[in-house]
Amino acid sequence: MAMLEARNVTKYFGRLAAVNNLSFDVKRGEIFGIAGPNGAGKTTLFNLIAGTYPCKGEILFEGEKVNNLKPYKICKKGIARTFQIPLIFPSLSVYENIGIGAHFGGDGRDDEKRLIAGIIDLVGLQGKENIEASHLRLFDKKMTMLGIALATQPKLLMLDEPAGGLNPTEIQQSVTLFERLNEEFGITLIVIEHLMKVLMGISERLMIIHDGEMIRLGKPLEVGKDKRVIEIYLGTEYA
């Protein structure tokens, strides 16, 4: 059984079909990539899976319908996400930020402190626990946001342009961490990314969307050779 299954998922904003009849599945343990031009509907798709907006069609998580559930219920089922622009609690410390994730997604376990400490190490924020989040540089803000998501102990983690705005060293560090989350912690990942080298490097399968519709889904190398994908998204110099 697929971990996540989207069947004819559709979302209109007024007369704009931001996500239009999308059907695909994400396998347990997979790293699933999503790319497409600006405004393609990528973030909206995350918003539908996370329960920000209701939608038409069906989204099944571990066989159970989750679309139209409230976001906190979807989180409790084991889906977490990060945002394109770091969304953290600016006036709280790194520790308190991650604590909110632990508290929100947790099951009231009493080893919450250990969970938080482990995540701070994992995302490389040790020594920065007490810094107010608004004072962090972009990379550390992104790691704090990732820490919040991880503290909810997700089975499925959705990352929205995690490499955006980072330098090559930070991107490499992020990629290593994502692969660790996947391999060592068994977290299934869906990654939206414009940096195709990064995305093709980590994705087992890649879906290209445009105007809310699927253009191609397959192995990264096959997708990269697709005529329509080159025409709509990658450009001929890429091919």
Distance (Å, whole) CA 19 – CA 58: 13
Tell me the Ramachandran region of residue 217: left when phi exceeds 0, alpha when psi lies from -120 to 50, beta otherwise: beta
Backbone angles phi, psi at 238, to 5 degrees: -70, -45
Region 13-72 residues binding ligand ATP, contact defined as CB under 6 A = 13, 16, 18, 36, 38-44
Distance of closest approach, residue 57 Cβ to ligand ATP, in angstroms: 16
Distance of closest approach, residue 38 Cβ to ligand ATP, in angstroms: 4
Size of the site for ligand ATP (CB under 6 A): 12
Kindly give, in sequence order, each residue whose CB lies less than 8 Å from that of residue 81, ignoring residues fewer than 6 positions away: 46, 49, 50, 149, 157, 158, 159, 160
Distance of closest approach, residue 192 Cβ to Mg ion, in angstroms: 6
The site partner of 40 among Mg ion, ligand ATP, none (C-beta below 5 to 8 Å per kind) is ligand ATP
Distance of closest approach, residue 207 Cβ to Mg ion, in angstroms: 14
Kindly state whether residue 12 participates in binding ligand ATP, applying the rule CB under 6 A. Answer: no
Distance (Å, whole) CA 116 – CA 1: 32
Among 208, 206, 201, which Cα is nearest to 234's?
208
The site partner of 38 among ligand ATP, Mg ion, none (C-beta below 5 to 8 Å per kind) is ligand ATP
Note the residues at the interface with ligand ATP (CB under 6 A). Answer: 13, 16, 18, 36, 38-44, 84
